[in-house]
Amino acid sequence: WDSPWADRLWTEACGKERWLGAHERLPGAVAQLTDAQVWDFRGMERRDLVDYARRRLQRQLSQRGEDEETVKGARDVLDPNVLTLGFARRFTEYKRPAMLLAQAERLVRLLSNAERPVQLIIAGKAHPRDQLGRTFVQQWAQFVRRPEVRDRAVFLEDYDMALAEDLVQGVDVWINTPRRPWEASGTSGMKVLVNGGLNLSELDGWWAEAYAPELGWAIGDGREHFEAGWDAAETEQLYTLLEQQVVPEFYDRDAEGIPRRWVARIRESLARLTPQFSSNRMLAQYLEQFYLPAAAGYRRRTGERLRLARELRTWIRGLRHHWPAIHWGNGAVESRDGRHCFRVQVYLGELSPDAVAVELYAEPRSPAEPGRYPLRRDHALSGAAGGFLYVGDVPGDRAAAEYTPRVVPAHAEALVPAEARLIRWYPA
Ligand SMILES: *Cc1c(COP(=O)(O)O)cnc(C)c1O
């Protein structure tokens, strides 16, 4: 998603091999860039986007059969020196694509301010069967036809990856307005980071994790709201942020024409968020936590002429075959000294006790609680093949009834439950 200008800047700052994995050096390298370098780079990117939007708009208008005058007019829309907001998404309800339009007159004032103008590039696409989504497209299409904003607001149709690429490379601020808690991630906001774009977004998805006041702007309060009027309250927040913080900060220039606070924000966002919300980081994490252990596990299974693989297959077949015969005997719990002591009888039939684990389960009340508490195999029950007593004690700070004994498959080399989806709960 990085622009040619970003590519050049990053190469200058971090060297040719910057994508090979070492992002530790990145914050230091970004700190070395001068304010003028950062601001020049943003200017190039914005200019490229304005060029692109004009060309694309001309094509769009001529394909729609607009007259020559109108098509030509598209050459003069937008301005490479004006604060550029980007707002592009699939127009589905939870994304609230009409939020910026909710107070249309206020938006017109924002865009057409002569001293500190703002321009808006909107792109969107609705599923053909999503009636509401299509209404949003129509609302935006109507808005950008208003004469007061014709040069300041552009609606680009057919939002796709090619268009997204140009947008995320050029915008100064990326706006995202999903309704919490529906935003799984919000990847488009991450795409602007490497290009020095800033985010103004709902505190949901990635932004709930990434946001800090020195990096960008946030709407919402990080909680879910179902009361009537909440959307309106967030709309108010959005406009107020734009009017009182975003626009003034962008146009607050020093003698050299550089908005120092804005550049400082870009610097923080580049240095802190790019390394974290990047596919570099993601891939390294997948590699270390999943792919490499999986590859090592594969080698262990296939070594020694598949000894372990065969053992696991026998284990799984045995489990499937004998699982239905598992049943419970007496269960007893005694509470003393702040602990609950469980004693449960389990009949495993012909299944080896080494093939399973018997444990207590209690829904974790916090991430710190394990939820699972192993029971220990005590003695074999007399007069029954495959019958065993299992014992163990657990913290007494919750009711004993909240712990439920269960039998699950167990093997040091197997992934349970992925490879053996079996479970036998103690009857309620
Ligand atoms: C990145 C991208 C998306 C996803 O954006 P979100 O912010 O995650 O919803 C959707 N469409 C296109 C064309 C994209 O490039």
Contact 393, 341 (CB under 8 A): yes
Q: Is the CB of 158 under 6 A from ligand 1?
A: no
Expressed in angstroms and rounded, the spacing between residue 212 Cα and the centre of ligand 1 is 23
Is 107:140 a contact under the CB 8 Å cutoff?
no
239-261 mean pLDDT = 98
> In angstroms, rounded to a whole number, what is the distance separating the alpha carbons of residues 199 and 185?
14
Residue 187 Cβ contacting ligand 1 at under 6 Å = yes
The owner of tokens 């594969």 is 298
pLDDT over threshold 90, residue 56:
yes
Query: pLDDT tens, 370-415?
Result: 999 999 999 999 988 899 999 999 999 999 999 999 999 999 999 9
pLDDT tens digits for 6-18?
999 988 888 877 6
Q: In this structure, which residue's CA is closest to atom 9 in ligand 1?
A: 186
Mean pLDDT of 70-82: 95
Å from CA of 188 to ligand 1 middle: 5
Percent of the chain with pLDDT over 90: 86
- As beta bridge partners, residue 339 has 336, 395
- The answer to whether 239 and 106 have CB atoms below 8 angstroms apart is yes
Q: What is the mean pLDDT of residues 325-338?
A: 96
- Are 96 and 231 in contact by the 8 Å Cβ rule? The answer is yes
CA of 233 to the centre of ligand 1 (A): 26
Rounded to the nearest integer, the mean pLDDT of the chain is: 94
Provide the edge-to-edge strand list for the sheet that holds 327-336. 327-336, 339-347, 387-395, 376-380
What is the spatial distance between Cα 174 and Cα 188, in angstroms, rounded to a whole number?
A: 8
Query: Does 246 contact ligand 1 (Cβ within 6 A)?
Result: no
What percentage of the chain carries pLDDT values higher than 70? 98
In Å, how far are 119, 121, 252, 355 from 168, measured between CA atoms?
15, 11, 23, 53
pLDDT tens-place string over residues 134-154: 899 999 999 999 999 999 999
Mean pLDDT, rounded, for 161-183: 96
Q: From ligand 1's centre to the CA of 89, what distance in Å? A: 6
Residue 246 has pLDDT above 90, yes or no: yes
What's the CA gap between 428 and 414, in Å, rounded?
A: 29
Kind and range of the H or E run holding 324: none
Beta pairing, strands 153-157 & 173-176: unpaired
pLDDT digits (tens, 9 = 90+) for 195-228: 999 999 999 999 999 999 999 999 999 999 999 9
| pLDDT tens by residue, 297-307 | 999 999 999 99
Measured from the Cα of 168, ligand 1's closest atom is 15
pLDDT category of residue 280 using cuts at 50, 70 and 90: confident
Determine if the pTM surpasses 0.85.
no
The Cα–Cα gap between 50 and 56 comes to 10
Q: What is the Å distance from ligand 1's center to 77 Cα?
A: 25
Question: How far is the C-alpha of 341 from the C-alpha of 335, rounded, in Å?
Answer: 6
